[in-house]
Amino acid sequence: MAQVTYYTAEGLQKLSDELTELKTKGRADIARQIAEATDKGDLSENAEYDAAKDAQGHLEAKIANLANLIANARVIDESKLDNSKVGILCTVKIKAPTGAEMSYTLVSAKEANVRENKISIDSPIAQGLVGKKVGEVAEVKTPRGLMKFEILDISL
């Protein structure tokens, strides 16, 4: 049974766009590579043909994986989210033991992007924050040991 994963509307759209790109441009590129390799003669000893066929196999596997992921994806209804405590799609402002303040948005693993301050809901930090309310302290196990983060603000 396939696992249901939750996405923002934006995140699911990105996956759909990627799938469309792979099905159109990706397949066309591979077909062109196979055609070029075929034009070079004997296929039994044609390394370019073998490489193109391998690339085609990888592309089709990626397409199947993405299609399966999208088929089992659900969009999160932000209007039904509770921002009184930390949960998926919440942007949480925390204070580290060093006094540094950081804000993170908790998203699905596929949407996580540290540059955009989006962390996976499955990450150790997010798991330590989930369910906490403003003013509470979350204890998070990190490679450096146990760290305590104070929840300063929660928003959607």
Residues 88 and 109 both lie in one domain: yes
pTM for this entry:
0.61
Choose the final residue of a domain: 45, 75, 105.
75
Are the C-beta atoms of 62 and 70 separated by less than 8 Å?
no
**16: amino acid identity, one letter:** S
Residue 84, domain CATH: 3.10.50.30
pLDDT in tens, 19-69: 999 999 999 999 998 888 888 776 667 788 888 889 999 999 999 999 988
Question: Which pLDDT score, from 0 to 100, does residue 43 have?
Answer: 65
Choose the final residue of a domain: 17, 49, 75.
75
Residues 60 and 107 both lie in one domain: no
Residues 53 and 86 both lie in one domain: no
Q: What is the span of the domain harbouring residue 141?
A: 79-155
Residues 39 and 94 both lie in one domain: no
Q: How many CA atoms lie within 13 A of 49 on its CB side?
A: 11
